Homo-oligomer: A and B are copies of this chain.
Amino acid sequence: MTQVQINLQVFPPMPVVLVGTHVAGRPNFMAQGWITRCNYEPPLLAVAINKGHYTYEGIMQTRQFSICIPGRDLLLETDYCGIVSGRDEDKADLFEVFYGNLPSAPLIADCPLNLACYVVNELEFTTNTLFIAEICEAYADNTKMDGTRPGFREIDPFILTMPDNSYWSLGEPIGKAWQDGKKLDGE
């Protein structure tokens, strides 16, 4: 037995996304790893925004935000959006922005995947508010699709681990979900 108790601040590996919203009428983006889908139909996601962030103010005002999934080529810009507050620097011009039907959900032309979301519920905790939002529109770079599905090899997303604060590339495909486990059936 090699299991030992460790500090409670453990984090499963996280996707790295940009959360976009409008604050004071300007598009703003922050880097975010605390995000998950939470219902299939309607398609809901949950994102836990620190209440000290400028983005928090924007989402509370507009009830709209975007989830933009960057590829590795946007690592520096994404990390910059996690370091520098929109209170201090205007981040609107970091990216080429476009819009769907939600006027306060700025989407990023250089991101392979973009979701426009509308807040339907929220839960407030001590440091973070968990926003529950419906995905209203989804856009993808059509050069990074695998047929009608996002092609994650082409998208080249990156992963965050904490508390070592490392970004990782996606490695190799090592299995198929809801399939490989059948090999153990009947054993």
Contact = CB atoms under 8 A, between A and B. Distances in A.
Interface stretch (A20-28, A57-65, A132-140): A132-140
A171 B174 contact: no
Given A37-B34, A75-B175, A3 B183 contact: no
A48 B48 contact: no
B82 A177 contact: yes
B184 A77 contact: yes
Query: Which size bracket describes the interface of A in this complex?
Result: 35 or more
B171 A170 contact: yes
A76 B4 contact: no
A181 B12 contact: no
A130 interface: yes
B138 A8 contact: yes
B4 A139 contact: yes
Given A3-B139, A152-B168, A166-B176, 11 more contacts: A2-B143, A5-B137, A9-B43, A10-B43, A10-B135, A12-B37, A41-B126, A77-B181, A79-B181, A80-B185, A83-B182
